[in-house]
Amino acid sequence: MSENLFKKFLNSKVFTLCVRLTFVALLYSFFRLLFLYANKSNFPDATFFAFIYGIRFDLSAIFFTNAPYILAVLLPFSFSYKKLYQLSCNVYFILVNSFAALISLIDVAYFPYVLKRMTCDFFSYLGIGFDYQTLLLSFIKQFWELFMLFVIIIVVLIFVIRFTNKIFLKGKFSYSFSKFHLLYNIMVLIVFSAFSFLCIRGGIQLRPINLIDTAKYVSIQNAALVANTPFSLIHSYRNVDDIQKHYFDSLEEAELIHSPIINHINPYKENNFPVKNVIVIILESFSSYLINGFDLENQSGEYHGFCPFLYDLQHRSISFNGIANGYRTLEALPAIFNGFPTVSDRLITRSPYANNYTYSPVQILRDRGYKTLFFHGAKNGSMQIESYCYSVGFENFFGKNEHPYTPESEEVWGISDRSYLHYVSQVLHQELQPFFAGILTLSSHNPFILPKDAKDLDIKEGTHPMQALASYTDNAIREFFETISQYSWYDSTLFVILGDHSDDGGVPSPRSSYMRYQIPLFFYHPLAKESKKEGIMQQMDIMPTIFSYLKINTPLFSYGNNRFDDRYIPFAINRIQDYFQFIANDYLLWFDSKQSAGFFDIKNDLLLKDNLLNSNSEEVALYERRVKAILHSYTTRLVTNRMYNDNARMNN
């Protein structure tokens, strides 16, 4: 009798359901293995336990996305055995798990550019001016293996459905109307529903698991390996508007520790050069290592970088250990020109606060008579960069539409850097002084295709295509400086050169979350003959420091500081996955919005392997208090529309 019952169980829809869900679970583990293989340089100390711990998060995503299918299959009614009904259930199973496969495969390629699992902010890019018709074929060509793998997975899912129908259900759907069978199906539904509920919430603990729980099992740098993409999307959607942070009794209390209200800017006393104009050159996807070299010790003394011109320029400048405040261009621009930190996945340009009133440093310069211009060779409207620039106070924006088009100058995203910077030099030569110009380069962006006009340039190639593009952009910058150095306004212009964020191809492997945010950042004046090396400087510090160099003493609103003012302790803050990194005095703190999770000596532990959290309690408390003050102040002002300094409006 027991053998007969076992055969009936094998032929039941319950066993079929278990087999299909088990296959999906194996598929998730395969995606994690593929994710690790493709991004292994980002997980230098990954272990097998990441896969074991990841099962908990896999089951949560699997049972959440398949919950309607599970319920539909286990309903104890006769219609649930009809072929059409079963077909509908199977179609849902294939569609929902194919979508999970699609986003998981996209994440394999997408992760190096954002250093986190995909969240719902990914879909916001659908509405910010991407030229998908042009880029889609390029991305499919670049990642054709993933596209083919996706097709194979769909075929395998269909095969699993047909196989389990044939072997376990024998292709027949029957239903017994006996009371025992009805009671049995009801019990199965109850038990399976309870089990599904526990899997979705991740266990019987007090609160359901979330993205932040991944760091309980591994270091923050490996947290993305424990999570999976569907889980990340589900939980980022639930938390998308949970932005405001409360750590103090009032905004005033928080701003006693760190305030964005700057009422006085000390002038940079060592600058005795004429300065009428400012050009801020933002290098797309540039890390500091692309310029300084991947040989961190460099005992040979030879140059190992890819940008000899920028390297030479940097050594005739006031240079800093640059730290990016975000890992996307649209996080860098508000940090540079507004002094705003990144506090959530949602871009401020796509948030409900995009139209908040601001009185930016760019607008202040414009009100003081500066011509304000921004140059970016992508298609006008791409990524909403044009709209952002107008909102922050740039009077004129020059994109691809304004460039005199030639087939030789076009690339995937827009106009190649070499051609576009030549055009920029012509526009600036015709502008009235004083002017404040921003330039965002383009060619060193994924998919890393060398432009057509690079044929006659001396390009240094490396192990990653990004490195050849960095060499190309270095040549384009060199030619740009050779041209503008002949103009009368060149010797009275301050150049600020920095990266917007880094890219995997521009950071040595193995790498840490600290190294990922290191960017070039230096102030160059043509008449300055001596170089000067300073400490860390974040993107939010740029505008207050420019005002100091220009000797403009005016109230500002910025969460950064004047780096030429010794009253301020240099610091940097950025966000990686669900954690904040706070850097000051050669130490780095990890903070998860509730408590500190790591404390590291970055001077002696660049890879962040030795966690000093439990041995430096006083320093940790000070760092944590500073982070809380910044987050409390910024998020409170953001949601209450107070992102300005009243004194700035009255004085300009």
**245: helix, strand or coil:** coil
Sign of the dihedral defined by the CA atoms of residues 249, 250, 253, 258, in that order: positive
Residues 40-62 as b/e (b if ≥16 CB within 10 A, e otherwise) read eebbeebeeebbebbbbbbbbbb
User: Within the chain, how many helices (H) and strands (E) appear?
Assistant: 21, 15
* Confidence check: pLDDT of 648 > 80: no
The CA R_g of the chain, rounded to the nearest whole Å, is 28
577-621 residue pLDDT tens: 778 999 999 999 999 999 999 999 999 999 999 999 999 889 999
- φ, ψ (nearest 5 deg) of residue 354: -60, -30
- pLDDT grade, residue 238 (50/70/90)? low
Neighbours of 450 (CB within 10 A): 18
Query: In terms of domains, do 118 and 267 share one?
Result: no
The rounded distance, in Å, linking the Cα atoms of 400 and 411 is: 11
DSSP state of 410: B
CATH code: domain of residue 505 = 3.40.720.10
Q: In sequence order, which residues have a C-beta less than 8 Å from that of residue 48 and are 6 or more positions away? A: none
Query: What is the C-alpha to C-alpha distance for residues 142 and 145, in angstroms, rounded to an integer?
Result: 8
Residue 456 lies in a domain: yes
The model carries a pTM of 0.81
What is the distance between the alpha carbons of residues 290 and 465, in angstroms, rounded to a whole number?
12
State whether 162 and 204 are in the same domain.
yes
Query: What torsion, rounded to 10 degrees, do the Cα atoms 278, 522, 282, 452 define?
Result: 110
CA dist., res. 164 & res. 183, Å (int) = 25
Query: Does one domain contain both 524 and 553?
Result: yes
Which residues, at least 6 apart from 402, have a Cβ–Cβ distance to it below 8 Å?
A: 380
DSSP type of residue 609: -
| 126 part of a folded domain | yes
312's tokens: 């030479």
> Using one digit for the tens of pLDDT, what is the confidence trace for 455-471?
899 999 998 989 999 99
Arithmetic mean of pLDDT, 626-632: 97
Residue 283, in any domain of the structure: yes
CB 593, CB 578: distance < 8 Å: yes
The residue out of 550, 569, 588 marking a domain boundary is 569
What is the distance, to the nearest Å, from the Cα of residue 609 to the centroid of all Cα atoms in its chain?
Answer: 23
Do residues 8 and 136 both lie within one domain? yes
User: Is residue 221 located within the same domain as residue 361?
Assistant: no
Q: Is residue 356 part of a domain?
A: yes
CA 317 to chain centre: 29
Pairing mode, if any, of strands 493-499 and 596-601? unpaired
Is residue 631 domain-resident?
no
- Residue 252 inside a domain? The answer is no
Whether 592 maps to a domain, the answer reads no
Number of domains in the chain: 2
Whether residue 553 is predicted with pLDDT greater than 60 in this model: the reply is: yes
Q: How far apart are CA 366 and CA 449, in angstroms?
A: 37
Does one domain contain both 63 and 200?
A: yes
Cα(54)–Cα(278) distance, rounded to whole angstroms? 50
pLDDT digits (tens, 9 = 90+) for 387-443: 899 989 999 999 998 988 776 667 777 899 999 999 999 999 998 999 999 999 999
Asked which of 180, 206, 238 is the last residue of a domain, the reply is: 238
Domain of 378? Answer: 259-569
172 and 321 fall within a common domain: no
Statement to judge: residues 156 and 290 lie in one domain: no
- pLDDT tens, 183-205? 877 888 899 999 999 999 999 88
Last residue of a domain, one of 513, 543, 569: 569
Report the run of H or E that residue 388 belongs to, with start and end: helix 385-392
Nearest to residue 169, comparing CAs of 17, 299, 313, 358? 17
pLDDT of 323-362, one tens digit each?
A: 999 999 999 999 999 999 999 877 777 777 777 888 999 9
Closest C-alpha to 495, from 425, 556, 432: 425
For residues 223-235, b (16+ Cβ closer than 10 Å) or e, as one string?
A: bbbbbbbbbbbbb
Residue 228 pLDDT > 80, yes or no?
A: yes
> Is there a single domain that holds both residue 297 and residue 378?
yes
- 3-state DSSP of 538-582: EHHHHHHHHHHHCCCCCCEECCCCCCCCCCCCCEEEEEECCEEEE
Residues 186 and 274 in one domain: no
Q: Are 281 and 322 in contact (CB under 8 A)?
A: no
Instruction: Give the model's pLDDT for residue 131.
Output: 55
Of 67-81, 110-124, 209-223, 544-558, which one has max mean pLDDT?
A: 544-558
Q: Verify that 184 and 291 share a domain, yes or no.
A: no
Instruction: Please classify residue 642 by burial: count the beta carbons closer than 10 Å to its beta carbon, then call 0-12 exposed, 13-18 middle and 19+ buried.
Output: middle
Print burial letters for 77-88: b (CB count within 10 Å at least 16), e (below 16).
eeebbeeebbee
Whether residue 233 is found in the same domain as residue 263? no
Are 419 and 437 contacting, i.e. CB atoms less than 8 angstroms apart?
Answer: no
DSSP secondary structure code for residue 227 in this structure: S
Structure tokens that stand for 221 in this block: 């740098």
Contact assessment for residue 556 and residue 265, using Cβ atoms and an 8 Å cutoff: yes
**Is 171 a residue whose pLDDT tops 50?**
no
Identify whether 305 is part of a domain. Answer: yes
Task: Quote the distance between the C-alpha of residue 516 and its chain's center.
Answer: 11
